[in-house]
Structures are given as C-alpha cells and as structure tokens.
Chain A
Amino acid sequence: MLNERKPCLQGVGLTKVFGLGRKKTVAVDNVDFTFHEGEIISIVGESGSGKTTLAKMLLGLINQTSGDVFFQGQKRDLSSHRKKKEYWRSIQAIFQDPFSSYNIFNKIDTVLLDCIRMRGGGSLSRDEKTEMMIEACRFVNLKFEELTNKYPFELSGGQQQRLMIARIFLLKPKILLADEPTSMIDACSRSTILDALLDLRNEIGMTPIFITHDIGLAFYVSDSVYIMERGRIVESGTADEVILNPQEPYTKRLISDVPKIREEWDLSTV
C-alpha cells in the first residue's frame, strides 16, 4: 500500500563522517531509505545514534560525505543560495530545544514575518500580514495580541514550541522534520504540541518526520518507523511491525527501556 504513494524523500548510501584519521567519527553510515508522501515517519534511536546528523543532512544544513538525497524523485541540488531557498520552502524543521532556537535579539513578529516573506508574501499590506499571523497563532492556541512586540525568551518552553509550529503553519512545507520536538517540554504540554503537529499535518497535507528517542511516541503517532543504531538503520517497517514484533535486539532493548506504570521497570539492559 505504501508503494502506491509517491516517494518524497529518498536517501541512497547516505554517509557523514566527522574528523579525520584517528579522530574520525562515522555519524551516519551508508543509510538508505525512502519516505513516502502523506505517511508519518519516525526515526528512533538513542543519543548519539546519528539521528540529528541525518536530519541536518536531510535539511541541507550540512553536506553529506557521500551518498545522495533525492527529493520528489529528483536528485537534490543545493549549489546556490536560490536553490537552497527553494528547497527550504518545501522542507522545514522544528528543533529540539525551543530556548535556543530563536534569535534572542529578534521579536516574535520578526520570526513570523520572515515566514510570510519566505512564502512570497513580502509585498502584502501590514494588515494582511497581521491577519495571517493572528491566524497562525490561533491555530496553535496562542494569542497574537499577547505575543506581538515580545521576545521569544519571554514565553514558556511550551509556548515557544507552539510558536515554532505556528511558523510551520505559515510556511506550509511539504515535509517537516521534527527533531525531538517534545523532549524539552513537560509531559502536559507534550500532548498539545503533538496534537498541534498532527492537526497541522491534516490541515496542510505535509509529511512529518519525527526524530525521537521515545519509542512510545513513535508508536503512538507514526505509520512507519526506522530504528537507528550507531549511524545505521537497523530495522524499519510499519509501526506495528517494528514495535509489536521487533526483530533486532537493539529494538527490543529500546522497547524494554520504556518505563511502564504497572510493571517492574527492567533495568538489566541498560
């Protein structure tokens, strides 16, 4: 059923090596994958497994050492600033730490206006822009009137992360890479963030890619799951396949590491 869908992002032999000689670290090691439009994808792995590096490569923020990324069936070309800008209209990201994601010298208005300009709305009138910003904030349950002329660091972590989603709402990308979007947020804000993200997916029809260490979250939201260990994708498939019937010992360990309320927590694998 997945094969009927169009592939939107493909990686072939994607590798990233940091450092040289003895200090050489292979962060992402010869990774192949095909993400399809419309499905919800999760990349799961523990800290240092290379998920964030993979995300940055997919975003085009760092260059791959070898391998290729295909975007909508075509080889990705980021050779000029214009082409990069074009690419970033289609792929956007939410970062892990909302507290460091904003430029502390820019007001919230600037953040949102940048997005409107990115979508080619730079020539709209001030009122139209404000209207768009109000709509985006309302979508994530924020009040624009309370945010305007404030700085991002004046908001709580949850509000900042929701503002990040409002940004995505304005940008309407085809693909969203959410790099641990809820890991810095308390458990209560977490579900609202996830709900907002899934609402957004339905609203603008984008393909979200969750990057997370939380296999429970992956099971809860995603259609297909990729498990990463030390830079390699060790297991992949639909969420039910991978999590309910794991093949790899690493996957089994990840699942057993999730604390459960009514069971003794198995710490023997740690």
Chain B
Amino acid sequence: MKHMLRQVFRSGKFVTGFVIFMAIMLTVIIYPLLITDHPLSIIGQGTFFPPGIYVNVFDSVSSPAYTIMLDDAAAKRIAGRLNDEDREAIREWLVGAGVADGEIDIANTESLLGLWVNNYDSTANVAGMTNADRNYYIRLNKSLQVLLSTEGVTLAASNPETGALEETGTVEPTQYVNVREVANVRLLPLGTDNFGRDVLTELVSATAVSLRIGFVAGIIATFIGLVLGLVSGYMGGIVDDVISFITNLFIVIPGFVLLILISFSIGQERRGPFVIAVVIGLTSWVWTARAVRAQVISLRNRDHVNLSKLSGHSIVHIISRDILPYIASYVVMALILQISAGILAEAQLSVLGLGPRTTEEATLGLMMNWALIYQAHILGKWWAYFPVILVIALIAFSLNLMNTGMDQVFNPALRD
C-alpha cells in the first residue's frame, strides 16, 4: 500500500493533477474561514459590477485630504472619463461642423480636446442632428468643462430645519485620499453577478457545493457499479445474466437523457443539490459495473481464489478479500473519473435549467445558468461566467490528470 502510494506520487502527471486539485480543495476550505460573508448575500444594487477595488465616496470625502501636484492629473482624468463612444461622438460633431477628418485623432486626448474647445458652439446647427443629439452634446460639453476647470467642487449639506443647502467644504482637483484611511473599501476581485453578489465568494462556495455533488454522485455510481460488477462477475450464471441484462439496458439508454428526464420529473421543489447528486449517481454506474465485471471474470478462476475457496471461505469473504483488493486500484481510478463526470453532469443539467433549484446554495452549473439568463456573454461581462468555466475545467483537468498518472503506474503496458 505504502509502496503503491510512493509509486503513484512519483508520476509527474499524477502529482500535477493532485497539486491543482488540492489547491482547489484548500481554497474551498480556507476561503470561507477568512471571509465569513454569506456567499449569496446581495451586496450590489445593480447588475454586473466590473472587478476592481470599490472605494466609498462618502467616506473618502470626510477622509483627510492630501494635496499632491501632478502634471498629468488633468489629462488622465479626462482620458479616463472620455470613453470611446464619447470620442467617436466628438469626431462626428467636428466633422459635421466642417473640421477636416484627417486632423482629428480620437486616440490623442489633448488634440481632440483642443479642437473641441475651439470649435464647439452649442447653438451651431449640424446637419442631420436630432434634438436628443444636441442635448447629448450640451451635456458632454458641460461635463468636460467641469473636468477642465481648475476650480474645486463645493460640497453642501441640506440643513434639516430650513432645508437650505449649506456649504460644508470644497474638493480640489489636486486633493487625494489615502485608500488605507478610507473606512470602507471593498475589493471585488471578480466583480458582482447579475444579482449583485460578490462573484469570488459565490464561486468558492459554488465550487464546494459542486465538489460535494461530484463526490456524492461518484461514490454512489462507483458503489452501485462495484457491487453489481462484483456480484455478476463472481457469481456468474443466472445472476450474471440478469445483472448484465439490466446493465445493457441502461447502456442503450443515453445516460444524459435519462438524467434530464429524472430531474425534470422530480419537480422543482425537491430538486436540491443532494437530490441532483443522487440522480447523477444513479444514472452513471453502468460503465463501472461492466468494467468491474470483466475484471472479476478474469480473476475468479485464478489459483489464489481457488485456494481461498478450498480454505472454506464464504463468497462474501472471497469477494472482499481475494477479488476486491486486486481491482482496488482500478476502482479508485474509476471513482476519480466518476467524480469529474458528476461535476460536469451537474453543470450540464444546470445550464439547461434542470439543475438544483435552490436559493441558499450556488453550484458551478447554476452560476453559469444565471450568467446565461442575464446575457453576461452578450453584454461582455466575462467575470460572471469565465472564472466558473475555468474552475470547472481545472477540476476536470486535474482529476483526469491524476487518473492518467495512476493508469501509467498501475497498467504496465503504458509504462514508458
């Protein structure tokens, strides 16, 4: 046993897979200890906040201000505020107003702004411009004026008695706050999803739930397959015929169709993650059963089994002590593949909308489903689905890598 483990850990493939899988497992275990928020608490009002550091505006106004003179501050400010659409709109207006197209470089903020300040006239009538367009340009001009001004912004608070605004201070363009001195700063490394939940926290808890589904499904499938394979392979005769018939029946029916039908007929109320895991387990044991049966048939006429029979051992003893240990490595490999297949099956089901129906727990498949329904892929909100795909891929990759590594150790024909 010890020797076997040492041999397995000498395989590069297995170790790589094991390290990736353990990294995922450890993240899933340690992350909730450090960040104790409920993974599905809705923190953002609005959908799909992009990843980044969120600094509280209210707190930063009252935080100590430092004046730092930086030459490129104004240019950066405008460059950051002028998005591509605005730049394109400015170019259109300038062309309409008679500026040569060749002079305009929308990537160069400084020259673009110079042209705009020199040429813009809110009363000018550009051909083909609607009223809404005109108002848009007036708003754009105003906001640019604010950005361009060297004056500060006045802060005011309304007096609770009179309702009149009273000046409480000004914010200069050269003032800075230290992020560490702002009371409320929230890091959202993967932004928020369509419900306004922190995607990273949600992802970690979803990974945990999906792994659990994978383990439950894998263990159930392997257990059923193992028992049926052992019994039908060892007993032979009519028992083997009956079990093989059932196994073949299940092989003919595509497992995924069966899975869809069962999870659909269970009904939405009872479709929790555990139920889905059980359903996945109950529909994916066939190949394990077949493979185990084949292995057992090749083992049952070996001399050591005959010797065990001659020693008066019962069938249960022979199966568990003389046959099971010989196929144990194979069963462990099958279990690993079943876990990976279980996680993938849950993701597939959930994307179809037939996965666990729950508001308390997220799964990787459900996160994909939500992102799909809220069109994250069309809106370009990659953080809502891409990390999920990556985690699913990493889990499946690491498990399959472990399996391949073990295969090379246990199967002498594959050894190089």
- Of the stretches A101-109, A124-132, A189-197, the one at the interface is A101-109
Query: Which of A95, A101, A103 has the largest number of chain B CB atoms within 10 A?
Result: A103
B residues in contact with A102, CB < 8 Å? 304, 307
B residues in contact with A103, CB < 8 Å? 304, 307-308, 321-322, 325
The interface size of chain B toward A, counting residues with CB under 8 Å, comes to: 17
B303 touches A101 (CB 8 A): yes
Q: Does B312 contact A (CB under 8 A)?
A: yes
Report how far A102 CA is from B303 CA in the complex, Å.
Answer: 7
Range of interface residues on A (Cβ < 8 Å): 20 to 34
Q: Does B306 contact A (CB under 8 A)?
A: yes
Report how far A231 CA is from B310 CA in the complex, Å.
Answer: 24
A61 touches B321 (CB 8 A): no
Report how far A85 CA is from B308 CA in the complex, Å.
Answer: 11
Report how far A100 CA is from B302 CA in the complex, Å.
Answer: 7
Q: Does B311 contact A (CB under 8 A)?
A: yes
B residues in contact with A118, CB < 8 Å? 311-312
B311 touches A95 (CB 8 A): no
What are the interface flags for A92-122 relative to B under an 8 Å C-beta threshold, 1 for contact and 0 otherwise? 1101110011111110000000110110000
Q: Which of B306, B311, B321 contacts A115 (CB 8 A)?
A: B311
Q: Which B residues from 129 to 159 make CB contacts under 8 A with A?
A: none
> Which secondary structure dominates where chain A touches chain B?
helix
Report how far A95 CA is from B302 CA in the complex, Å.
Answer: 10
Q: Does B313 contact A (CB under 8 A)?
A: yes
B289: min CB distance to chain A, Å: 23
B313 touches A114 (CB 8 A): yes
A59 touches B302 (CB 8 A): no
Shortest Cβ-Cβ A-B pairs, 6 listed:
A85-B312, A114-B311, A101-B303, A95-B303, A105-B325, A103-B304
List chain B positions with a Cβ less than 8 A from chain A. 302-304, 306-315, 321-322, 325-326
Cβ contacts A to B, 15 pairs, < 8 Å: A61-B309, A88-B312, A89-B312, A93-B307, A96-B303, A97-B303, A100-B302, A100-B303, A100-B304, A101-B303, A102-B304, A103-B308, A103-B325, A114-B313, A118-B312
List chain A positions with a Cβ less than 8 A from chain B. 56, 59, 61, 81, 84-85, 88-89, 92-93, 95-97, 100-106, 114-115, 117-118
